[in-house]
Amino acid sequence: MAEARVQTPTRHIIQTEDQAGPIPTIGIDATWVASKRFYLDGRAQYLKVNISNLDGSLGIYELDVLYRYRPNVSFAVGYSDFTANITSTKSSKAGVFDFSTKGPEMFQDCLLTKASWVPP
């Protein structure tokens, strides 16, 4: 009867980071009023960082068509694209974070106060 036993050294590394806060992105936001009830809303934000051995980028894009049911209630359909990339070029450290989500969206806006603008 033969028996073999193998042991290898293993090192488990678990690292988590949890931060919340504003991200200083450069962006543009625009609204076009098509009529008293319909308007088009679009925004684009972008950030790119390149510090020594770190790379990165962040892109947030959204385009929506809204129907104003009441002055403080709107229904909307649209499309959004959120992309984040980061790469570490240090050979001694792990890197690469890639996150992307995009697709159609549907939502409702409900303001607790009267709308700041009322279309003609």
> How would CATH label the architecture of 26-110?
Alpha-Beta Complex (3.90)
- Cα 9 to its chain centre, rounded Å, is 39
Q: Where are the domains of the chain?
A: 26-110
Ranges of residues in the chain with a pLDDT under 70 are 1-20, 53, 89-94, 114-120
How far is residue 14 from each of residues 10, 11, 34, measured CA to CA in Å? 13, 10, 52
* Dist. CA 11–CA 13, nearest whole Å: 6
What pLDDT, in 10s, does the model give residues 84-112? 888 876 656 667 778 899 999 999 988 88
